[in-house]
């Protein structure tokens, strides 16, 4: 095996271990207690997308002293979690490394310290959210894995019409290649955006894995924020999607369909654009001008511009200045 292949294999193993400890922490903290799968029959309730995503613990001898194992067909899981996508889809490769899963397991002592730290991190996040709600009453969670552009600022503006405080609440865990490490964005929000919004925003990540499962994951994310104690959560046109595999607005349609099963209020938006007629960034539902006047604002394009050390026309200058200075540090 050459060095590149060995490095890739080790990275996959590290990601799998990290994802597994994240999920174990989510179960132990209570966040995923209703989502854990201990046998194939437990998958039945997840045929209803209102129940979100199943959480399965893969058999990884490197982290367990003992476990009992069970099997689930990979194609069955792929269809249930991701729908009709190809097995080469990034979400499948990230989340479906195994078809052998563990129950009644015992973690090795060498991993227990990390697990305990992750459990504490999740519980402290929940405690902080509940403190925010006591102080402000209506507190919304905005999940993003990107450096904020003008579109993100418009989403925050919309959320502040419903909420007294908006918490930037990215998910901390292994991501697909090229994504920004959201835990490192706190400095940007503190230095640039928090003063602009007169302290009506906070930055508080939650330790949980991304699946890139689109509409079904929008429900999963809503249930996480509900458990944390938020009163509102934002879902956009391609929430938790990647590679363009899910239809536009499928996530919005899903959360609207399942809103009756949630106690958290969902704020939806159809994406952000720059309107040449308005001369400003707008959300799709806030502008009636024709499509030829609208240019899509993209986090991926913003990252690409930063990588090339170019200016992105749809991000504020102070954000770009901070992001350009710190870009290499921000990548996963």
Catalytic positions, written as ranges: 144-146
Express the helix, strand and coil content of the chain in percent, nearest 5 each: 50, 15, 35
The rounded distance, in Å, linking the Cα atoms of 178 and 165 is 30
SS3 102: strand
The rounded distance, in Å, linking the Cα atoms of 211 and 90 is 9
The rounded distance, in Å, linking the Cα atoms of 59 and 177 is 24
CB-based contact 269:237 (threshold 8 Å): yes
Q: What stretches of 173-231 adopt beta strand conformation (E)?
A: 201-203, 206-207
Contacts of 318 (CB under 8 A, 6+ apart): 192
Between strands 165-168 and 139-142, the pairing is parallel
DSSP 8-state symbol, 87: T
The rounded distance, in Å, linking the Cα atoms of 130 and 110 is 32
Tell which residue, 254, 242, 237, 241, has the closest CA to residue 52: 254
The rounded distance, in Å, linking the Cα atoms of 139 and 159 is 9
DSSP assignment of 68-119: EEEE--HHHHHHHHH-S--TTSHHHHHH-S-SEEEEEEEE-HHHHHHHHHHH
Contacts of 288 (CB under 8 A, 6+ apart): none
């Amino acid at each position: 095996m050459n060095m590149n292949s060995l490095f890739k294999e080790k990275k996959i193993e590290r990601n799998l271990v990290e994802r597994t400890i994240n999920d174990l922490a989510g179960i132990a903290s209570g966040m995923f207690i209703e989502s854990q799968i201990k046998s194939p029959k437990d998958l039945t309730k997840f045929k209803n997308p209102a129940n979100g995503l199943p959480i399965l613990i893969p058999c990884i001898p490197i982290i367990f002293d003992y476990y009992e194992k069970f099997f689930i067909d990979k194609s069955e899981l792929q269809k249930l979690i991701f729908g009709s996508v190809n097995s080469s889809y990034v979400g499948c490769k990230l989340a479906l490394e195994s078809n052998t899963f563990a129950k009644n397991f015992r973690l090795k002592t060498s991993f227990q310290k990390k697990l305990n730290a992750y459990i504490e991190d999740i519980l402290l996040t929940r405690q902080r959210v509940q403190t925010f709600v006591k102080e402000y009453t209506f507190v919304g969670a905005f999940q993003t894995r990107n450096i904020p552009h003008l579109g993100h600022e418009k989403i925050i503006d919309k959320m502040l019409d419903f909420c007294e405080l908006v918490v930037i609440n990215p998910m901390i865990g292994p991501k697909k290649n090229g994504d920004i490490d959201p835990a490192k964005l706190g400095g940007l929000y503190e230095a640039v955006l928090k003063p602009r919004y007169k302290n009506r925003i906070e930055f508080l990540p939650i330790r949980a894995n991304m699946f890139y499962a689109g509409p079904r994951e929008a429900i999963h994310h809503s249930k996480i924020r509900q458990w944390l104690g938020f009163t509102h959560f934002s879902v956009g046109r391609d929430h938790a999607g990647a590679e363009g595999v899910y239809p536009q607005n499928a996530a919005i349609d899903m959360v609207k369909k399942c809103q009756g099963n949630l106690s958290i209020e969902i704020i939806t938006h159809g994406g952000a654009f720059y309107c040449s007629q308005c001369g400003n960034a707008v959300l799709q539902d806030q502008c009636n001008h024709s499509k030829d006047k609208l240019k899509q604002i993209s986090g991926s394009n913003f990252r690409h511009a930063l990588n090339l050390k170019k200016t992105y026309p749809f991000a504020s200058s102070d954000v770009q200045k901070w992001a350009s200075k710190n870009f290499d540090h921000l990548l996963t």
